[in-house]
Structure 1
Amino acid sequence: MNLAMIALVVLLVGYLLVRRMTGQLMEARRMLVLPAILTVIGLASLNSATLSATAIGFLLLGCIVGIGFGLVRGYTVRITERDGTAWMRYSIASVGLWIAAIAARVLLISVESAIDPTAASAAGQATMMAVGIGFLAESVVVLYRAMHSDATIVWRADKSGGHTVSPTLADMHNRVRGGGSKIR
């Protein structure tokens, strides 16, 4: 992974951390699309010609670790209601899990490099993919938890303070809370 990619990952993660630590409107589009973009960029950065079986194994391990931390972190996010809409905010545990995830990633890189430096380097190109997948797993858990509240889950917020609600998301929210027809 080159220096520019490392800087980009640090900036994106830092941006998301600050926003989520200060509290923000739970905007489903932003919660799902940005991590998906990070994942696709990470996937696109892979050079399939240099991916050995060991590199693919390291890559999968990194993604599994990212998903695991994301799922657990999703349960530590505080969900509140403001003016009828769902808001989210990182707790101390959320930040602690980020620190643990970074430490685990550093340890994983060290172990992978000791086993096979070439494969570790190839798998390291997909760090952004692992980060994106971790954020996506977190977002899915947070949205799932918010579905059990009475607060409106916003799809997109506009600059004027208005909100767009996704009919599909609103229908899922209604079904989870017990209204409407059940999913079979």
Structure 2
Amino acid sequence: MHPALIAIAVIAIIVFVIVRRFRGEPVDAKDLAVPPLILLGISIKDLWGFDHWSAANIAFLAVSVTVGIGFGMLRGGSTVLFEKDGTLHQRYTVKTLIVWGLSLAASAGLHFGAQAIGAEEAVRPITLSIGLSLLGEAITCGWRGQQTGIPFAVKDSGRRGDDIGDRLSRIFDRSG
């Protein structure tokens, strides 16, 4: 896929998520866990056959992991968690928006820094950056949510007790 199309899709998804979460939404363990795992799985698949592990590529990857998870955790810590209709909900704040902006600026800086040190394009998949950021947010929101004692929301999938969301909710939810 053309890089410009990927960038447009990423921006559209980020705007959609930000708007939805500013309005407030239930915290569903499946929604926290599945997107980052899918994106990280795609990234690992993309990196699996890579065999040019230069110092620049390793350094870039290490910094990317740290920055991605770190900004995600900051974003997860900036959200407001609250109870609504007996389940845990989250809402982004102005602080969250600031963290989003800083993380996008850091991603741009990493991109140009990678070019400056000669890190190859193959170690810079956009799915990795987004997946790490979402993982950091999921870890922080999941942990904070679990500390509240408020049950996580579980979307009705038509199946009872056999859904991955149910299993993940039991992991994060002490009362499950």
Query: TM-score scaled to structure 2, two decimals?
Result: 0.82
| Contact kept in structure 2, 1:84 and 1:151, CA below 8 Å | yes
Tell me the amino acid that sits aligned with residue 54 of structure 1. A
Q: CA separation of 1:149/1:140 partners in 2, compared to 1, >3 Å: closer, same or farther?
A: same
| Contact kept in structure 1, 2:23 and 2:91, CA below 8 Å | yes
Distance (whole Å) between structure 2 residues aligned to residue 130 and residue 52 of structure 1: 20
Describe the SS at the equivalent of 2:78: coil
Describe the SS at the equivalent of 1:15: helix
Distance (whole Å) between structure 1 residues aligned to residue 84 and residue 14 of structure 2: 26
1:98 maps to what in 2? 100
Q: Offset at 1:171?
A: 6.6
Q: Offset at 1:19?
A: 2.0
5+ long unaligned stretches in structure 2 = none
5+ long unaligned stretches in structure 1 = 176-184
| Contact kept in structure 1, 2:73 and 2:136, CA below 8 Å | yes
1:135-174 residue pairs with structure 2 within 5 A?
135-154=134-153, 156-158=154-156, 166=166, 169-170=169-170, 173-174=173-174
Q: Offset at 1:48?
A: 0.5
Distance (whole Å) between structure 2 residues aligned to residue 120 and residue 44 of structure 1: 16
1:181 maps to what in 2? none
| Contact kept in structure 2, 1:51 and 1:122, CA below 8 Å | no
Q: Offset at 1:98?
A: 0.7
Q: CA separation of 1:167/1:129 partners in 2, compared to 1, >3 Å: closer, same or farther?
A: closer
Distance (whole Å) between structure 1 residues aligned to residue 65 and residue 19 of structure 2: 23
Distance (whole Å) between structure 1 residues aligned to residue 172 and residue 23 of structure 2: 28
Describe the SS at the equivalent of 2:82: strand
| Contact kept in structure 2, 1:50 and 1:122, CA below 8 Å | no
1:6 maps to what in 2? 7
Q: CA separation of 1:158/1:59 partners in 2, compared to 1, >3 Å: closer, same or farther?
A: same
| Contact kept in structure 1, 2:73 and 2:137, CA below 8 Å | yes
1:110 maps to what in 2? 112
Q: Offset at 1:9?
A: 2.8
Distance (whole Å) between structure 1 residues aligned to residue 11 and residue 171 of structure 2: 36
Describe the SS at the equivalent of 1:98: helix
Distance (whole Å) between structure 2 residues aligned to residue 159 and residue 174 of structure 1: 22
Match of 1:71 among 70, 73, 95: 73
1:57 maps to what in 2? 59
Q: CA separation of 1:39/1:8 partners in 2, compared to 1, >3 Å: closer, same or farther?
A: farther
| Contact kept in structure 2, 1:36 and 1:133, CA below 8 Å | no
2:17 maps to what in 1? 16
RMSD: 2.7
Describe the SS at the equivalent of 1:45: helix
| Contact kept in structure 1, 2:78 and 2:95, CA below 8 Å | yes
Tell me the amino acid that sits aligned with residue 166 of structure 2. S
2:122 maps to what in 1? 122
